[in-house]
Amino acid sequence: MKIYALAITLLLLMAAPAVSQQPMRPYSGIGVLLLAVEHGESSVQQEPFYLYEEPAVQRIGVLDSGRTPPYEWLFTGNTSRVPLIVTARKGEWLQVAYDDAGRLGWLEPRHRGEVQPWSALLKGKPCRLLPGLRKQYYQIFRQPGKTPLALPALAKQSFRVVKLDGDWALAMPDQSTLGWLRWRDEDGRLLISVGMDPGAQKH
Tens digits of per-residue pLDDT, 154-202? 888 899 999 999 999 999 998 888 999 999 999 999 999 999 865 444 4
More confident residue, 153 or 16: 153
Residue 53 clears pLDDT 50, i.e. is over it: yes
pLDDT value for 17: 40
Tell me what pLDDT residue 79 has: 64
User: Where are the domains positioned within the chain?
Assistant: 31-39+47-118, 123-195
Q: What is the pTM of this model?
A: 0.79
| Rounded to 5°, angle at Cα 138 from 132 and 139 | 160
In the predicted model, is pLDDT for residue 12 greater than 80?
A: no
Q: Is the pLDDT of residue 117 over 80?
A: yes
Rounded average pLDDT over 95-112: 90
Indicate the pLDDT class of residue 44, thresholds 50, 70 and 90: low
CATH assignment of 31-39+47-118, among 2.30.130, 1.20.140, 2.30.30, 2.60.40 = 2.30.30
Residue 83 has pLDDT above 60, yes or no: yes
Helix/strand/coil (H/E/C) assignment for every residue in the chain: CHHHHHHHHHHHHHHCCCCCCCCCCCECCCEEEEECCCCCCCCCCCCCCEEEEECCEEEEEECCCCCCCCHHHCEECCCCCEEEEEEEEECCEEEEECCCCCCEEEECCHHHEEEEEHHHHHECCEEEECCCCCHHHHCCEEECCEEECCCCCCCCCCEEEEEEECCEEEEEEECCEEEEEECECCCCEECEEEECCCCCCCC
Look at residues 100, 104, 199, 117 and name the one whose alpha carbon lies nearest to residue 164.
117
Residue 6 pLDDT: 41
Query: pLDDT grade, residue 41 (50/70/90)?
Result: low
pLDDT at 50 over 80: yes
Instruction: With CA atoms as reference, report the closest residue to 98 among 122, 74, 62.
Output: 62
Provide the percentage of residues in the chain whose pLDDT is more than 70: 80
The pLDDT confidence band at residue 66, using thresholds 50, 70 and 90, is confident
Q: How confident is the model at residue 97 (pLDDT cuts 50, 70, 90)?
A: very high
